Structure 1
Amino acid sequence: MIKRTLKPIIEGKISTGKAILVIGPRQVGKTTLIKELLSGKDYLFLDGDDPTTRQLLTNPNTEQLKDLIKDKPIVFLDEAQRVENIGVTLKIIVDQIKSTQLFVSGSSSFEISNLTSEPLTGRKWEYTLYPISWREFENYTGVLKATRQLPLRLVYGMYPEIISNTGSEFELLKQLTESYLYKDVLAYGAIRKPDIVKKLLQALAHQVGSEVSLRELSNLLSVDAKTVSSYIQILEQAFVIFRLGAFNRNLRNEIKTNQKIYFYDNGILNMLRGNLNPLETRNDIGSLWENFLISERVKKNDYQQSLAQIYFWRTRQQQEIDFVEEVGGNIFAYEFKWKPTARVKIPSSFIKAYNADFKVVSSGNFREFIG
């Protein structure tokens, strides 16, 4: 079994009088992680996908909840976003049934965070579980085997089931894309034009590493820019994509308002591109490498509870840096190249203006950046 970084972190928060929320995409192992944490313990399991469970948990009073929970010391509610007004119900459990430790999982931040943020203010520990991180993968396979599999991971991604089922990657990714990306996002996001979402995802998949223009996307999809922006926000809250804003401080010619969009998983990205060919045959290695490194850095920063802010940088004269990180008042700049021998021209104006530390991350030295 792949050991998850969050496990010891969450273990330290049990019995502190607060609910423990684990959110993240479907199929990344949230239920498995929580059940592993609860192994050997007496607990009540409630499945938010079950209609009867949803009915019992929708607007109950304190006595009804006490009757449901009885003397169980632990309650685990899975897929909590499926329950209407779940935030208020969870608040009652935390406040009125103090002897019960509450575990909650959810697959969409726009449902869970929005529904629980106000009711559970000061009453929860919240964590995001991502697809397998590179450090978790190395700990599972060993450094040598993990490094040898790097080209495969750039193509097939880091979902637990994908890693554990060699030879079935296409079928599993197809199922994951169709059931999660389309079915779940459309169900939870109040999206009125599902066909547009599919086309938008495909368009974004082909623009990874490039700046995204809402105007161009709206023209491509024949919808207004406001709709495009709204759908991008839903996809972000559903843990499909994330944004990188432009870094700007001192230089007059810096790009200020543009953004780039990346995917949390390379396997999903490649399915949307319609290309699972081996890495050595690809002409898009640069964008796959960039997406992989940045998504892995996001996992690393979150798990380490880093305060780092992340950006890209470009000037109107086309000087650019792939990735900029600002943490503790210090600025670090990174350029991504798959080949260790690739030549890189350092943008001197950026280094001088910000006294930044600059590094090139290649397939020969990437472990320090994401491990």
Structure 2
Amino acid sequence: MFSRNIFSELCEYLYSDEFFILYGARQVGKTTLLKMLEAKLKENGEISYFFDLENIQYLTDFDKNPENILSYVSIPENKRIFIFIDEIQYLQNPSNFIKYLYDHYKDRIKIICTGSASLEIKSKIQDSLVGRHYAFRIHPLSFFEFLEFKQASIHQLDMSKITENQKNEMHTYLEEFLLYGGMPAVVLKKSKEEKKKLLHSYVQTYIQKDIRSITVISDIVKYNYLMKMIASQSANLLNINNLAENLSIAYSTAKRYVSILKHTHIIQLVPPYLQSVHKQIRKMEKVFFYDTGVRNALLNNFEEIQFRSDSGALFENMMALEFLHVYKNIYYYRTKNDAEIDFIIDDKEILLIEIKYKKLKNFISPKIFYNFGETIKKQRKYIININYQDKKNDITILPFYLYNNIFKK
């Protein structure tokens, strides 16, 4: 079983009073993480039980009364047990179910659960659970997790010392990652055809099953077209007015469809970096897909990277996902003259990051970095490209396989 970066963080919360929930898109590895946590507890001599709510018997019994779960478990005296529940959103009222067990049995039972669609969970898990739970978003694999799943020995090397041949090997892995994404099951498929088949199946299941079970879509055909239109615009500004006009639907409908895509973890919207929150709301956001493989499946385009006109957008999309693994909020910056900084990360410092899907041959210093203005926090400036590495003054240029250096300061 392959490890995930988030696993060690989850382990830190195993013995807290609060229950926790893993949420995210389907097939990103939530159930696998539950089983890894259960195995960890068993190694520690703990007692655990696992319930999959796709089992109708469990679902029916738990919906009737939260107390019914006690008929399936045994709680020794002076001992706390761990209960894992997969797909908690299938319950009619997961909020009441968990609140009841937490309020009455928190010293005896620890609940750890998953849910596939945050839209569903948001509508069913209410504010009554504030202070009773932690929520962890599970993403598709990061690039370095992808390398581990591929059993690529190169990922264990010191990336700052790899040879030219190893750099070429890294670029080959990058191209596969950009084309087929980071869904664990897709990564583990050996052939390109198997990967494509699984990604197309993912899209069809999302359209035919997931969305219909979550909300009412009056015109699923136009919803499908909207997804494809947004896929063609990934790493660009999302103009909802244009979507509505092109699909001959109301602006409110287009906005609702975009919201559904966001809350079901198909897309991520990145706002502009502005001091005023009110201005942020009025400005257009950039759109990225949570998985580049799903994006390419929607467009039915798995053409090799070297022949694609959207290779730069795919690379920027990938880097957005890598940053979201580490930072909750990322932004972009654009001037009135349309000069742009691809990513702004407002953390302990302000990170200004430009993404270039090209092989740089010498140092560059984008003027936009110096038009950004002074900030109270210290600024660090980065350019991520394919191959070139350099540093002058306050600008650091990194090849893509060293992007982790940004997080190590």
How high is the TM-score relative to the length of structure 2?
Answer: 0.81
3-state DSSP of counterpart to 1:149 = helix
What is the CA-CA distance between 1:285 and the residue it aligns to? 0.6
Q: Which residue of 2 aligns with 1:235?
A: 261
Q: Which residue of 1 aligns with 2:146?
A: 137
Alpha-carbon displacement from aligned partner over 1:286-311 (angstroms, at most 9, x marks no partner): 11111111111111325xxxxxx311
- Structure 1 window deviating more from structure 2 (47-56 vs 151-160): it is 47-56
2:186 is aligned with 1:166: no
**Which amino acid in structure 2 is aligned with residue 16 of structure 1?**
S
**Which amino acid in structure 2 is aligned with residue 263 of structure 1?**
F
3-state DSSP of counterpart to 2:17 = coil
Q: Which residue of 2 aligns with 1:214?
A: 240
What is the CA-CA distance between 1:359 and the residue it aligns to? 1.8
- Counterparts of 1:97-136 in structure 2, within 5 Å, are 97-98=105-106, 99-136=108-145
What is the CA-CA distance between 1:94 and the residue it aligns to? 1.6
What is the CA-CA distance between 1:338 and the residue it aligns to? 1.0
Cα distance in structure 1, aligned partners of 2:207 and 2:321: 18
Q: Which residue of 2 aligns with 1:185?
A: 211
What is the CA-CA distance between 1:228 and the residue it aligns to? 1.1
Structure number with higher relative contact order (C-alpha < 8 Å, ≥ 6 residues apart)? 1
- Counterparts of 1:1-371 in structure 2, within 5 Å, are 1-39=1-39, 40=42, 42-60=47-65, 62=67, 64-71=68-75, 73-98=81-106, 99-140=108-149, 141=152, 142-143=154-155, 144=166, 147-167=171-191, 168-249=194-275, 257-302=283-328, 309-328=329-348, 330-341=349-360, 345-347=366-368, 350-354=371-375, 356-364=379-387, 365-370=399-404
| RMSD across aligned positions (CA) | 2.5
Q: Report if the CA contact (8 A) 2:341-2:369 is conserved.
A: no
Q: Structure 1 residues 255 and 185, CA, compared in 2 at 3 Å: closer, same or farther?
A: closer
What is the CA-CA distance between 1:147 and the residue it aligns to? 4.8
What is the CA-CA distance between 1:198 and the residue it aligns to? 0.7
Q: Structure 1 residues 331 and 182, CA, compared in 2 at 3 Å: closer, same or farther?
A: farther
Q: Report if the CA contact (8 A) 2:142-2:321 is conserved.
A: no
- Structure 1 window deviating more from structure 2 (47-56 vs 343-352): it is 343-352
Q: Structure 1 residues 267 and 44, CA, compared in 2 at 3 Å: closer, same or farther?
A: same
Cα distance in structure 1, aligned partners of 2:48 and 2:208: 33
Q: Report if the CA contact (8 A) 2:352-2:369 is conserved.
A: no
- Structure 1 window deviating more from structure 2 (2-11 vs 111-120): it is 111-120
- Structure 1 window deviating more from structure 2 (75-84 vs 33-42): it is 33-42
Q: Structure 1 residues 77 and 114, CA, compared in 2 at 3 Å: closer, same or farther?
A: same
Alpha-carbon displacement from aligned partner over 1:159-190 (angstroms, at most 9, x marks no partner): 11111112011111111111135521232133
Cα distance in structure 1, aligned partners of 2:15 and 2:232: 46
Cα distance in structure 1, aligned partners of 2:22 and 2:280: 38
Q: Structure 1 residues 61 and 321, CA, compared in 2 at 3 Å: closer, same or farther?
A: closer
3-state DSSP of counterpart to 1:132 = coil
**Which amino acid in structure 2 is aligned with residue 367 of structure 1?**
Y
How high is the TM-score relative to the length of structure 1?
Answer: 0.89
Cα distance in structure 2, aligned partners of 1:204 and 1:60: 43
Q: Report if the CA contact (8 A) 1:42-1:74 is conserved.
A: yes
3-state DSSP of counterpart to 1:248 = coil
Q: Report if the CA contact (8 A) 1:248-1:256 is conserved.
A: no
Q: Report if the CA contact (8 A) 2:200-2:298 is conserved.
A: no
**Which amino acid in structure 1 is aligned with residue 182 of structure 2?**
M
What is the CA-CA distance between 1:255 and the residue it aligns to? 11
3-state DSSP of counterpart to 2:271 = strand
3-state DSSP of counterpart to 1:3 = coil
| Residues paired across the two proteins, number | 361
What is the CA-CA distance between 1:195 and the residue it aligns to? 1.5
Q: Report if the CA contact (8 A) 1:186-1:194 is conserved.
A: no
Identity across the alignment (%): 24
Q: Report if the CA contact (8 A) 1:289-1:338 is conserved.
A: yes
What is the CA-CA distance between 1:370 and the residue it aligns to? 4.7
Cα distance in structure 2, aligned partners of 1:182 and 1:293: 30
3-state DSSP of counterpart to 1:20 = strand
Cα distance in structure 1, aligned partners of 2:261 and 2:371: 32
- Structure 1 window deviating more from structure 2 (219-228 vs 184-193): it is 184-193
| Structure 1 unaligned spans of 5+ | 303-308
Cα distance in structure 2, aligned partners of 1:85 and 1:146: 47
3-state DSSP of counterpart to 1:57 = helix
What is the CA-CA distance between 1:117 and the residue it aligns to? 4.2
- Structure 1 window deviating more from structure 2 (47-56 vs 351-360): it is 351-360
| Structure 2 unaligned spans of 5+ | 156-165, 388-398
